Amino acid sequence: MKNLKLKPIAMIALIMGMSSVVYAQHDHGNMNMKQDDHGMMDHDTNMVKLNDKNLTKAYMHYTMINEALVEANSEKAQKASKMLVGILKKYGKATDALKVAEDMASKSNIMDQRIVFSKLSTAFEPLLKENVTEGEIYKTFCPMANDGGSYWFSNSNKIKNPYMGKAMVSCGSVKETFKSM
């Protein structure tokens, strides 16, 4: 008699467990990918797509570097730079950006990384400007960065300065917006 009672209970437990897994996967798929300030990337609600999947991935790695510099995390910046190098090699149409990304990947000091990130942003502009197919990219400028000012790109118009550290994280302004035509 005990065996008959255990089988339905086991079946109910199994069904409930499977339902929880399916629900969790479904719910995870519907998240808008926004992470808190401790996450590596802050996608906000503005997902950006470019006209080539490798270029989109390259921009994603660029934003990872940006976020790591905002956090003053040189290890994350270097790791994201190495990933960017790999994607730019696959993309094959960004020689200038690849050279700068390789330089960035060789740097482990946060101050050196911030200087090279300015050069990376300059090299990235032609890759982004006419290639946005979804979302918006904000070209942002800080007049105090790197002795004369530096640009960077972001998915958000909220200023998170990668050059100045936490004391001046909101220094800068949006100068241009790239979006699909």
Can you give the pLDDT at residue 32?
35
- Shortest CA distance to 67 belongs to which of 170, 165, 174, 162? 162
Three-state SS letters, the chain: CHHHHHHHHHHHHHHHHHHHHHHHHHHHHCCCCCCCCCCCCCCCCCCCEECCHHHHHHHHHHHHHHHHHHCCCHHHHHHHHHHHHHHHHHHCCCHHHHHHHHHHHCCCCHHHHHHHHHHHHHHHHHHHCCCEEECEEEEEEECCCCCCCEEEEECCCCCCCCCCCHHHCCCCEEEEEEECC
Structure tokens at 126: 């032609």
pTM for the whole structure:
0.75
Q: What is the mean pLDDT of residues 80-89?
A: 98
Does the pLDDT value for residue 2 go beyond 70? Answer: no
pLDDT for 181 equals: 76
What pLDDT band is residue 55 in, cutting at 50, 70 and 90?
A: very high
pLDDT category of residue 59 using cuts at 50, 70 and 90 = very high
Task: Please write the tens of the pLDDT for every residue from 5-19.
Answer: 556 554 444 444 443
**Strand ranges of the sheet holding 136-142, from the earlier edge strand across to the other edge:** 150-154, 136-142, 173-179
Q: Does the pLDDT of residue 83 top 50, yes or no?
A: yes
What would the two tokens of residue 39 be?
A: 């996450």
